[in-house]
Structure 1
Amino acid sequence: MLVCLGDTHGQTDHRLAGRAHQAVREADHVVHTGDFTTAAVYEVFAEQSGADHGGAPLSAVHGNSDEPTLAERLPSTLVVDHEGVRLVVVHGHEHTATGLGLLARQEDADVVVVGHTHRPMIERTDHCLVVNPGSHADPRGTAPTHAEVTQGEHGAMIELRARDGSLVAEETIQT
């Protein structure tokens, strides 16, 4: 399973709870759309995923609220290939809807994972699936959420999950 999160906005803690915390610990790969805020939060995320000791890799981009020393360590755009699904990851503060579609075409991506708004969303466009996992720690007008990408009988699925594990939305990923 690949887990997508974003917009932690912490100072020292990963702020993971409930299903999001469990999913990060079980994941084969963890993707973060930025706004950890501090390098300390990034480091505890790496620890929770196991990335710092041979576990699930943590792939992350920087957000507009990340401290400069962390932003310098992380790219603004990242391509992740996972079990036949290609994702392009950005924070989103510098992209319009049209720009996200063009980025997906440029990177031949099946899914664009974007953060910034703190609002969970799955939207099918002409070029790709756009997913915002929401914020597991600092939601705005919604419950805390994250996204999980899994392989099923009929291909890859992306699911938005609430803190209690309940399904918020789901979509098949066309590859």
Structure 2
Amino acid sequence: MIAIFSDTHSSDGHELEGEALNAAREADTVVHAGDFTSEAALEAFQKECATLFPVHGNADSAAIRERLPTARVVEAGGVRFAVTHRRDGGEMGLAMFGRSRDADVVVSGHTHRPTVIETEDCLLLNPGSHAQPRGHRPGFAVLEESEVGLEGEIREPDGTLVESFEIPQK
């Protein structure tokens, strides 16, 4: 299983609860698209996850920016993920970022709004914020291998389904 998070915005912990906490603990791979805000939040996430691939966001402290990259590529479940917090240029900028990294999926954060957008080149996935949704539904994403590739869901921390999607293997 792959679990994807973003925008924790915490001064003292991971802010995970319910199904979001279970997903972080049970996933083989966890991706975080930035804005932990504090080292305490980053370290709390690291303690819960077997394998964490984070990037830093615009609200992260200087200490986190020194520890984490702005962008990275993660290969998991037969899919190539390009991860960033945000990109200028909206959907087009994110799609170009993905294309430049030969990605199947671009994971981003920043808006706090759970979103799945299919583009010509790749899938754009923003899991939303599990901790500070800022007027949107709280969210995180879970992807599981299937016969067609990966089957994904954006869920609320209590497990409520927000949206389902598929990522076919190439």
Give the TM-score, by structure 2 length: 0.95
Give how far 1:143 is off. Answer: 2.5
Determine if contact 2:78/2:149 at 8 Å carries over to the other structure: no
Pick one of 70, 78, 85 that aligns with 2:72.
78
**1:100 and 1:166, CA in 2 relative to 1: closer, same or farther beyond 3 A?**
same
Give how far 1:171 is off. Answer: 1.0
Stretches of structure 1 lacking an aligned partner (at least 5 in a row): 50-55
SS of 1:173's partner is strand
* Mapping of residues 1-175 of structure 1, within 5 Å: 1-49=1-49, 56-92=50-86, 94-175=88-169
- Between the two proteins, what is the percent identity of the paired residues? 47
Give how far 1:152 is off. Answer: 1.5
Give how far 1:142 is off. Answer: 2.2
Give the TM-score, by structure 1 length: 0.92
- What amino acid maps onto 1:45 in structure 2? F
2: CA distance, partners of 1:93 / 1:152: 30
Give how far 1:95 is off. Answer: 4.9
1: CA distance, partners of 2:142 / 2:95: 21
Determine if contact 2:117/2:123 at 8 Å carries over to the other structure: yes
SS of 2:44's partner is helix
**1:95 and 1:145, CA in 2 relative to 1: closer, same or farther beyond 3 A?**
same
SS of 1:22's partner is helix
Question: Which structure 1 residue ranges, 4+ long, deviate > 6 Å from structure 2?
Answer: none
Stretches of structure 2 lacking an aligned partner (at least 5 in a row): none
**1:84 and 1:140, CA in 2 relative to 1: closer, same or farther beyond 3 A?**
same
